[in-house]
A and B are shown apart, each in its own frame.
Chain A
Amino acid sequence: MQDAVRVEQLSKSYGRLLAADNINLSVTSGTVFGLLGANGAGKSTIIECILGTKKADGGKISVLGMNPLTDRKKLFEKVGVQFQETNYQDQITVAELCEVTASLYRDPADPNDLLARFGIAHKLKSLVRDLSGGQRQRLFIVLALIPGPKVVFLDELTTGLDAKVRREVWKILSGLKEKGLTIFLTSHFMDEVKALCDQICILKKGKIAFLGTISEAVKASPCHSFEDAYLWYTDEEGQTDENF
C-alpha cells in the first residue's frame, strides 16, 4: 500500500537546540499514526515541518506523494489540519467559521452534517469563543474534516473533552479510518493512543525513541503495560522519582 506520509532524514534546529534529529517515518494509507512524546520533545516541530509551515533544515518530506512546500495548493485540497492553538477571529460564529472554511475548498463536505455528527449542530449561531472547551475542540476537528480529506493531522485531538465525548470522537474517527482516511495525531492520553493508533512513534528530545506498533513497544521494553512502556521510553518515570 502507498504511504500517505513519508519523512526521510528530517532535521530542524532552533539555534543550538536540535528539535528534530534525523527523523525517518512513514504512515501507511488508511491507518492511524500517533506521534507521542513529552512537551518539548519535538512533536509540533515535526508536524509543522511535514505541513510546510516550518522549513526543515534538511531531509525529504512527502504527503500523498506531494511536496508540501511546492505543491501546497493541490495538496491541501486533500489534507485537513487541526492545530493546537485556537486560531479564529474574535467575533466569528460557528456557522461563519464553517462557511468560510468550506469556501476554501473545491469540493467540501457539508459542515452541518459534520457538526451534527460531533453533537454541536445546535451551536451554529454561537460565537466560537463562547463555546465550552470541549465544544470548541470538536469544532476544530470538524474544520479539519471539512475538506473531505484523505489525510488529517490532529494535534492533541481530545484535550479538554470529557470521557464520554472522547469515546464518541474515537468512534467517529475509527469509522472514518474504515472508509480509508489516514490520521496523523499527537496525544497525551495513552488510552486514546491504544484505542486508535496502528503505529506509534515515541519522541525523546527530538530523536525517535521507538517506532512501531503498541504491542511491539511493550515487548521491547521491560514493562507490562503500554503506559509504563511509554514512560520508560521517554524516561519520564525516572525524572518524576527524582523530583520526589
Chain B
Amino acid sequence: MKTFKTMLKTELKLSLRGLDMFIFAICLPLVVLVILGILYGDRPAYEGADHTFLEQSFGALAAISICAGGVMGLPLVVSDYRGKGILKRYQVTPVDPSMILLVQVTIYTLYAVVSLLLLYFAAVLFFGCQFHGTLPVFFGGYLLMVVSMFSIGMMVGGVAPNTKAAGVMASILYFPMLIFSGATLPYEVMPASLQKIADILPLTHGIKLLKAASLGSSADDMLIPLIIMSVIALFCISISLKCFKWE
C-alpha cells in the first residue's frame, strides 16, 4: 500500500507536469460544453422533447476524457515505460511491474472522474441542466465505458513494438473517435451517412449507453451498446493478457 501511494503521488505529478492530459481530458470537455451551451442554450433536443439538447449531449461530453485517457494516454505511457526499460527495472525489485500499470489506470480513472464532476457542476450551474436518469444505471454504464476504453489502450500499449508505433496506433483510434463518435460533434446533427460511419466506432456505442443512462431512456435502448461494449472489453482484455510484453 505504501508503494502504491508513493507511486500514485509521483506518477500523478509527472502526468500533470506533462500537461497534455490536463488539456485533453479536463479542459477540452469543458470547452465543448461551453460551446454547445452557447449554441443551443436551453433548446429542447427535438420538438416536444422533455430534455434539452445540452442534457442530451452530457453523456457524450463525459466520454471525451475517458477516450483521451484510455485510448491516448494509457497506450503512450505503457509503451514509453516499456521502451525506457522502466517496467524491466521493476522486475528486479520486490514489486511486480504490473503495479505501475495499476497506478496508471488509477490516474486515468481519476482524470475521467474529475472531468465528469466538473462537467456536471458546470452544466447544472451555468446552463441549468438536469439529470434525468438513475444514478446507479449511469455509473454502471460509466464503469463499463471506462473498462472497455482502457482495455483498448492496454491492448495497444501492450502489443505496439515501440513508442512511435503506439503513438501512431493511438492517434488512428483517438482522433476519429473524438470527432466522429459524437463526443465533440453531436451525433444528432450528423447526416445519416456519417452516422453510419460513426456506428463502426466503439466510442459511439459507449456514448449511446451513457446518453440513454443520463436521460433515463428505456432499457431496450441500452441493450445493443451494452453488448458491444462488453464484447470489446472482453476481446481487448484477453488480447492484452496474452500479448503483453514487459520489454
Tell me the A residues contacting B by CB distance below 8 Å.
51-53, 72-74, 76-77, 79, 81, 83, 85-92, 96, 99-101, 103-106, 147
Q: Are A87 and B10 in contact (CB under 8 A)?
A: no
Decide if B94 is an interface residue (CB 8 Å cutoff).
yes
Nearest chain A CB to B182 CB, angstrom units: 34
Decide if B13 is an interface residue (CB 8 Å cutoff).
yes
Nearest chain A CB to B50 CB, angstrom units: 48
The majority secondary structure among interface residues of chain B is: helix
Decide if B95 is an interface residue (CB 8 Å cutoff).
yes
**Tally of contacts, chain A with chain B, CB under 8 A:** 68
| Closest residue on chain A to residue B4 by CB atoms | A103
Which residues of B, 208-247, contact A by the 8 Å Cβ criterion?
A: 247
Q: With A99-B10, A100-B10, A104-B3 in contact, do A87 and B86 touch (Cβ < 8 Å)?
A: yes
> CA of A103 to CA of B9 in the docked complex: distance in angstroms?
12
19 A-B pairs in the complex with CB atoms less than 8 angstroms apart: A52-B91, A53-B88, A76-B94, A81-B92, A83-B85, A85-B84, A85-B85, A87-B85, A87-B89, A89-B14, A89-B84, A90-B14, A91-B17, A92-B14, A96-B14, A100-B6, A103-B2, A105-B93, A147-B93
Nearest chain A CB to B109 CB, angstrom units: 20
Closest 7 CB pairs of A and B: A87-B85, A103-B6, A81-B92, A104-B93, A91-B17, A104-B95, A103-B3
Q: Are A100 and B7 in contact (CB under 8 A)?
A: yes
Give 5 new A-B contacts, CB below 8 A, not counting A103-B2, A104-B3.
A72-B94, A87-B84, A87-B88, A100-B6, A104-B95
Q: Write out the residue numbers on chain A whose beta carbons fall within 8 Å of the beta carbon of B17.
A: 91
Which residues of B, 49-91, contact A by the 8 Å Cβ criterion?
A: 80-81, 84-86, 88-91
Q: Write out the residue numbers on chain B whose beta carbons fall within 8 Å of the beta carbon of A85.
A: 84-85
The majority secondary structure among interface residues of chain A is: loop
Nearest chain B CB to A116 CB, angstrom units: 21
Q: Write out the residue numbers on chain A whose beta carbons fall within 8 Å of the beta carbon of B80.
A: 90
| Closest residue on chain A to residue B84 by CB atoms | A87
Nearest chain B CB to A145 CB, angstrom units: 13
| Closest residue on chain A to residue B93 by CB atoms | A104
Q: Are A79 and B92 in contact (CB under 8 A)?
A: yes
Decide if B18 is an interface residue (CB 8 Å cutoff).
yes
B 1-32 binary contact with A (CB < 8 Å = 1; else 0): 01101110011011001100000000000000
Q: Are B89 and A83 in contact (CB under 8 A)?
A: yes
Residue from B10, B92, B95, B247 in contact with A92 in the complex, judged by beta carbons closer than 8 Å: B10
Q: Are B84 and A76 in contact (CB under 8 A)?
A: no
> CA of A51 to CA of B247 in the docked complex: distance in angstroms?
15
> CA of A92 to CA of B89 in the docked complex: distance in angstroms?
15
Q: Write out the residue numbers on chain A whose beta carbons fall within 8 Å of the beta carbon of B94.
A: 72-74, 76-77, 104-106
Q: Are B86 and A99 in contact (CB under 8 A)?
A: no
| Closest residue on chain A to residue B246 by CB atoms | A53
B 113-143 binary contact with A (CB < 8 Å = 1; else 0): 0000000000000000000000000000000
Q: Write out the residue numbers on chain A whose beta carbons fall within 8 Å of the beta carbon of B90.
A: 104
Q: Write out the residue numbers on chain B whose beta carbons fall within 8 Å of the beta carbon of A81.
A: 89, 92
Q: Are A91 and B18 in contact (CB under 8 A)?
A: yes
| Closest residue on chain A to residue B16 by CB atoms | A91
Q: Are B3 and A51 in contact (CB under 8 A)?
A: no
Q: Write out the residue numbers on chain A whose beta carbons fall within 8 Å of the beta carbon of B86.
A: 87-89
> CA of A243 to CA of B3 in the docked complex: distance in angstroms?
53
Q: Write out the residue numbers on chain A whose beta carbons fall within 8 Å of the beta carbon of B96.
A: 73
> CA of A72 to CA of B91 in the docked complex: distance in angstroms?
8
Nearest chain B CB to A147 CB, angstrom units: 8
Nearest chain A CB to B85 CB, angstrom units: 3
Nearest chain A CB to B177 CB, angstrom units: 26
Q: Are B18 and A53 in contact (CB under 8 A)?
A: no
> CA of A47 to CA of B19 in the docked complex: distance in angstroms?
38
Q: Write out the residue numbers on chain B whose beta carbons fall within 8 Å of the beta carbon of A86.
A: 84
Nearest chain A CB to B114 CB, angstrom units: 20
Q: Write out the residue numbers on chain A whose beta carbons fall within 8 Å of the beta carbon of B13.
A: 96
For A73, A104, A147, which residue has the most chain B Cβ atoms within 10 angstroms? A104
> CA of A164 to CA of B6 in the docked complex: distance in angstroms?
35
Nearest chain A CB to B73 CB, angstrom units: 14
Nearest chain A CB to B156 CB, angstrom units: 20
Q: Write out the residue numbers on chain A whose beta carbons fall within 8 Å of the beta carbon of B6.
A: 99-100, 103
Q: With A83-B85, A87-B86 in contact, do A76 and B92 touch (Cβ < 8 Å)?
A: yes
Q: Are B10 and A96 in contact (CB under 8 A)?
A: yes
